[in-house]
Amino acid sequence: MWKRRLSAPCMVLLAGVVWAACSGDAYIDVEQEPPCDSTADCGSELTGAECIDGRCRCPELGDVSCCEPGAREEEGDRCERACRPVRECVAAPCEAARDCPGPVDPRCGQALCVAGVCRLALREQLEHQRAGDCRVVKCDDAGAARVEHSGSDVFNDGNECTIDRCAHGTSVHLPHPTGPSPETSGYCKDGKWVGCLRDEDCGNPSYACSTSGRCVHEWCENGILDVSSGETALDCGGPCDPCESGQPCDSDDDCVEQICAEDGTCAHARCGDRVLNGAETDVDCGAPSCPACDSGQKCGSHESCQSGVCMDGVCRDATCSDGVMNGDEAARDCGGSCAVCPLYVDRPDIGHEGS
């Protein structure tokens, strides 16, 4: 038997399928859909159903199995179930909104009693959504929150030499085609801004475009250690390209990571060296091994910021509508200096980047 007797108007969410009973005692399938060999087998069990994969199922997305809204059956009788939109299935007689079942997720709206019949007043999508996570959280006809990919909710990493897009629900930053930068003077190469691509870009025959995309004196590319010209190592340091860690240096400017150690060699970046270097997005912050950055500092991801909010390459202050639990909030966008949190438990897996 696939039928089970339930009482009182109800709506049960089970394995992603909504089943709704009549307003009086009724039979309702809560364990499995009726078995079938063809659609003809479904007519007596579920009006409008089709035989799909050996089960009588509603063919239209968003339709569920329920009885005629407001129908009342005598004890022992089964109301006639049919495929109907969820909004119709939750309809039941009422005197006040308190008599009506609310949306699955209270954030999606509220129950109403309209002309003696239960209805749902639903939002199209949830408020307080996190920007730039390539997703939008919408409410379905049952008032359940569901995450949808959104190609328009793109995260801007603040790098003019990358193309920001959403792919399969995730932000990606593709290298801009090699050539002039789209926003400022200079050029883009391998997703990074450079000062030149060719020697001709330097505008002076005595200068050459280095491998790092800088206009340097021709002798910076001659394969000779020109100490008299300011080089601290072969073709690097001084007016030439900065040197890699471990190579000789006279000052921080001689080094790729802007640190010339006491022993006169270029050193690796550290979080407390008071220099923007390594993987940092701003001075001594933003790198995976460094603290997150304060508001107003540069960032490359939400995780780069103390507030958890990075927009257009800059960390933003925490607000009560940014879709993130931050500041003095007790839960996402509520508590502390924000509005009092609702009674229902906030779900951190809905509306957050990476969930």
CB-based contacts of 211, cutoff 8 Å, min separation 6: 241
Number of alpha carbons in the 13 Å side-chain half-sphere of residue 255: 23
Report the 10 Å Cβ neighbour count for 334.
16
pLDDT for position 345: 47
Q: How far apart are CA 259 and CA 235, in angstroms?
A: 18
* Most distant CA pair in the chain, distance: 105
Q: Could you read off the pLDDT of 98-132 as tens digits, one per residue? A: 988 888 888 888 989 988 888 888 888 888 888 99
Residue 199, SS3 per DSSP: helix
Interval 125-145 mean pLDDT: 87
Q: Could you read off the pLDDT of 175-229 as tens digits, one per residue? A: 999 999 999 889 999 999 999 999 999 999 999 999 899 999 999 989 999 999 9
> Is the Cα dihedral 78, 79, 83, 84 positive or negative?
negative
Closest CA to 38 of 24, 53, 16: 53
pTM to 2 decimals?
0.64
Q: Could you read off the pLDDT of 242-271 as tens digits, one per residue? A: 999 999 999 999 999 999 999 999 999 999
Residue 51, SS3 per DSSP: strand
Confidence of residue 332 (pLDDT cuts 50, 70, 90): confident
Alpha carbon of 249 to those of 65, 226, 273, 319: distances in Å? 76, 13, 17, 46
Q: Classify residue 312 by burial, with Cβ atoms within 10 Å: 0-12, 13-18, 19+.
A: exposed
> Is the Cα dihedral 314, 317, 322, 324 positive or negative?
positive
The residue ranges of every structural domain in the chain are: 4-93
Q: Classify residue 169 by burial, with Cβ atoms within 10 Å: 0-12, 13-18, 19+.
A: middle
Q: Decide: 295 and 306 in contact? Cβ < 8 Å.
A: yes
Confidence of residue 6 (pLDDT cuts 50, 70, 90): very low
Q: Could you read off the pLDDT of 31-60 as tens digits, one per residue? A: 347 888 999 888 777 888 899 888 888 888
Q: Which two tokens stand for residue 245?
A: 């860690």
Tokens 């002798």 correspond to 219
Average pLDDT, the chain: 82
